């Protein structure tokens, strides 16, 4: 085995570059480890994009000491953090940076100490840390390398050997600590991602950076018997055109031919023009969320415009116009789907950050929106449980007065906006908006991306599944039937209004039929149908 007593800052940077490339090879496989078989299992993609942001910053570091490179990596991770997994990874990298502060080079003992700091920082970053996740894998790995160093072993390659082995064993054991993993037939996705990063770093230390170009990381099998079936890997479905989608893509060494190749089967009327730093993209597609998701892997996305090329129904928006007078504060909301974006704009949202399921925006994306609004008082609505942590990172990055109202669904975001008191101050509004969140129930209907079993309910790939406030409630072959079955699980006494937001893949006539059935079953309820245009989810329904 190659011996490595220490590495320079340049080596430290290249080691992380190798780790990033190694993770990129299996990001989709890590995505597939999502517990719920809904199309928002993007842990691997989020971690990869977070690391990509880290490396961009690392190559701009002011000097080549290990300390400076680590600080740059941590800064890049914070700004580029996407989703819960990306935010936690950014906390791990921040802890590593603190652990090597002031170090010109990095030894095995330095790494062991830094990894301990990383584990502490990761746990501090969550208000309710859960074992059986990436947190446990980080903690177990830190304990293993600390023990090795205490026994007198300081060789960096040997320390990483032990770290990779410990991470492997910890990931394999995650289903024993988290029952939902065991039942779903998967190990923890974030833990698998961290293991892959450590393994990629080890390949670099072994001098195997060139050899692994034609290899792919292996997924870790559970060390305990699993209740559910292992995940099935599926290819993304191709979609026809339907929405005029335009955006600016920025980055380094952009290749317009490569961009065209990645997007040409995702729609019609594709135009890609630009140079190595900036490209303009135009495409007609039925699934704009998927196009934006692909684009985020090629560079940073700006100036997004998504327009429906069919006649739009605006009755709902007209009804809401009088509810949004001008206020001395700005509201930033994360929304995907042009119909939903119009709904939120009509309710007083100042800036929309495109994103949601499968396309989590980064901390930098949300920060950019916050800085772009005129007001120094800003309320942020994440509208997705996987974006709340990302939004919370903005606090430390701006001098503006920020309030995060932790909405986890689109209906919660709408309810929070309708609760606004336009004569109240920022803190009071944040308080009353938070109080509105539990007053609304959310039903979401989508298609399962793999076969699995949740709460003793067997699910086949591509079946329609209904979630009631985030919990699996119904499974079937028809999304509209699943919608009705899911709603039947909710006590609607005391409820008054049901709003059905139908997605890009759902015909309006079908959504209207669903509303007619609901009005027949629940004559006491007022049922509204609104075109949301959201990708992946046939229906998002608000019950209040």
163-181, pLDDT tens digit by residue? 999 999 999 999 999 888 8
Q: What percent of the chain has pLDDT over 90?
A: 47
For tokens 């293991």, the residue is: 195
What is the token pair recorded at 317? 């928006």
Residue range 434-452: mean pLDDT, rounded: 92
Q: For residue 179, what are the contacts with CB-CB under 8 A and spacing of at least 6? A: none
Q: Which domains does the chain have, with CATH numbers?
A: 6-214 (1.25.40.340), 243-309 (3.30.70.260), 314-439 (3.40.50.510), 441-543 (3.30.1180)
Per-residue confidence at 265, pLDDT binned at 50, 70, 90? confident
Per-residue confidence at 322, pLDDT binned at 50, 70, 90? very low
Residue 79 has pLDDT above 60, yes or no: yes
Per-residue confidence at 366, pLDDT binned at 50, 70, 90? very high
Instruction: Please give the Cα distance from 308 to 314 (Å, whole number).
Output: 12
Residue 538 has pLDDT above 70, yes or no: yes
Residue range 8-30: mean pLDDT, rounded: 92
Range with the lowest mean pLDDT among 194-198, 234-238, 295-299? Answer: 234-238
Query: Parallel, antiparallel, or unpaired for β 377-381 and 330-335?
Result: parallel
Residue 16 has pLDDT above 50, yes or no: yes
pLDDT for 432 equals 94
pLDDT for 317 equals 41
Range with the lowest mean pLDDT among 205-209, 278-282, 384-388? Answer: 278-282
Model confidence, pTM: 0.69
Question: By three-state DSSP, how is residue 330 classified?
Answer: strand
Q: For residue 119, what are the contacts with CB-CB under 8 A and spacing of at least 6? A: 92, 95, 135, 138, 139, 141, 142
Residue 19 has pLDDT above 90, yes or no: yes
Residues in the chain: 544
Per-residue confidence at 276, pLDDT binned at 50, 70, 90? confident
Burial class (CB in 10 A: 0-12, 13-18, 19+), 530: buried
Query: Which spans in 178-255 are helix H?
Result: 179-184, 189-205
Residue 48 has pLDDT above 80, yes or no: yes
Per-residue confidence at 387, pLDDT binned at 50, 70, 90? very high
Q: Select the more confidently predicted residue: 62 or 34.
A: 62
CA distances from 32 to 233, 264, 344, 346, 389 (A): 7, 24, 31, 36, 22
pLDDT for 161 equals 93
Q: Are 51 and 83 in contact (CB under 8 A)?
A: no
Q: Across the chain, what does the average pLDDT equal? A: 85
pLDDT for 417 equals 92
Residue 37 has pLDDT above 70, yes or no: no
Please, what sign has the CA dihedral across residues 76, 78, 83, 89?
A: positive
Per-residue confidence at 318, pLDDT binned at 50, 70, 90? very low
Residue 241 has pLDDT above 80, yes or no: no
Query: Parallel, antiparallel, or unpaired for β 526-531 and 497-502?
Result: parallel
Q: Select the more confidently predicted residue: 242 or 63.
A: 63
Question: Residue 331: which of 345, 346, 350 has the closest Cα?
Answer: 350
Q: Are 45 and 27 in contact (CB under 8 A)?
A: yes
pLDDT for 530 equals 92
pLDDT for 316 equals 37
CA 101 to chain centroid: 30
Per-residue confidence at 38, pLDDT binned at 50, 70, 90? low
Per-residue buried b or exposed e for 379-395, using 16+ beta carbons within 10 Å of the residue's own CB: bbbbbbbbbbbbbbbbe
Q: Are 491 and 504 in contact (CB under 8 A)?
A: no
pLDDT for 39 equals 58
Residue 130 has pLDDT above 60, yes or no: yes
Instruction: Please give the Cα distance from 428 to 326 (Å, whole number).
Output: 17
pLDDT for 310 equals 46
Burial class (CB in 10 A: 0-12, 13-18, 19+), 419: middle
pLDDT for 308 equals 67
Instruction: Please give the Cα distance from 44 to 38 (Å, whole number).
Output: 15
pLDDT for 33 equals 83
Instruction: Please give the Cα distance from 42 to 355 (Å, whole number).
Output: 13
For tokens 């934006």, the residue is: 292
The secondary structure of 441-452 as a DSSP string is EEEEEEE-SS-E
Per-residue confidence at 229, pLDDT binned at 50, 70, 90? very low
Per-residue confidence at 326, pLDDT binned at 50, 70, 90? very low
Burial class (CB in 10 A: 0-12, 13-18, 19+), 314: middle
Per-residue confidence at 323, pLDDT binned at 50, 70, 90? very low
pLDDT for 315 equals 39
């Amino acid at each position: 085995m190659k011996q490595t007593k220490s590495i320079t800052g340049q080596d430290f940077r290249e080691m992380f570059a190798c780790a990033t490339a190694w993770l990129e090879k299996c990001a989709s496989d890590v995505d597939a480890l999502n517990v719920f078989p809904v199309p928002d299992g993007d842990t691997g993609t989020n971690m990869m994009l977070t690391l990509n942001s880290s490396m961009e910053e690392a190559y701009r570091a002011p000097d080549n000491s290990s300390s400076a490179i680590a600080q740059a990596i941590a800064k890049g991770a914070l700004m580029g953090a996407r989703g819960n997994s990306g935010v936690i990874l950014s906390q791990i990298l921040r802890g590593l940076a603190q652990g090597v502060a002031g170090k010109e080079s990095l030894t095995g003992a330095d790494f062991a100490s830094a990894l301990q700091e990383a584990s502490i920082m990761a746990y501090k970053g969550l208000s309710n840390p859960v074992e059986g996740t990436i947190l446990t894998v980080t903690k177990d790995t830190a304990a293993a390398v600390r023990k090795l160093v205490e026994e007198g072993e300081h060789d960096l390659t040997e320390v990483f050997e032990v770290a990779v082995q410990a991470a492997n064993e910890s990931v394999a054991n995650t289903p024993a600590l988290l029952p939902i993993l065991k039942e779903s037939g998967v190990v923890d996705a974030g833990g698998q991602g961290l293991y892959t990063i450590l393994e990629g770093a080890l390949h670099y230390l072994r001098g195997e950076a060139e050899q692994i170009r034609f290899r792919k990381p292996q997924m870790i099998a559970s060390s305990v018997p699993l209740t559910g079936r292992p995940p099935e890997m599926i290819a993304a479905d191709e979609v026809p055109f339907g929405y005029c989608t335009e955006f600016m893509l920025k980055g380094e060494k952009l290749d317009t031919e490569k961009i065209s190749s990645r997007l040409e089967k995702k729609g019609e009327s594709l135009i890609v023009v630009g140079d190595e730093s900036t490209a303009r993209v135009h495409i007609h597609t039925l699934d704009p969320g998927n196009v934006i998701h692909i684009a985020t892997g090629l560079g940073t996305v700006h100036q997004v415009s998504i327009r429906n090329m069919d006649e739009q129904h605006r009755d709902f928006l007209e009804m809401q116009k009088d509810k949004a007078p001008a206020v001395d504060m700005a509201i930033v909301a994360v929304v995907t789907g042009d119909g939903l974006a119009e709904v939120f704009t009509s309710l007083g949202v100042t800036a929309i950050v495109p994103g949601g399921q499968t396309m989590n925006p980064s901390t930098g994306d949300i920060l950019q929106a916050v800085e772009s609004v005129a007001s120094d008082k800003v309320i942020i609505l994440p509208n997705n449980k996987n974006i709340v942590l990302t939004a919370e990172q903005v606090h430390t990055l701006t001098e503006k007065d920020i309030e995060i109202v932790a909405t986890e669904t689109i209906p919660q975001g709408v309810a929070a906006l309708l609760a606004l008191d336009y004569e109240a101050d920022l803190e009071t509004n944040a308080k009353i908006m938070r109080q509105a969140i539990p007053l609304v129930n959310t039903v979401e209907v989508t298609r399962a991306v793999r076969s699995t079993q949740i709460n003793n309910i067997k699910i086949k790939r591509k079946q329609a599944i209904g979630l009631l406030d985030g919990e699996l409630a119904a499974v079937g072959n028809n999304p509209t039937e699943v919608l009705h079955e899911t709603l039947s699980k909710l006590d609607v006494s005391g409820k008054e209004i049901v709003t059905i937001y139908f997605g890009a893949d759902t015909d309006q006539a079908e959504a209207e039929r669903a509303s007619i059935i609901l009005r027949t079953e629940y004559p006491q309820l007022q049922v509204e149908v609104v075109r949301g245009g959201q990708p992946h989810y046939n229906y998002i329904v608000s019950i209040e």
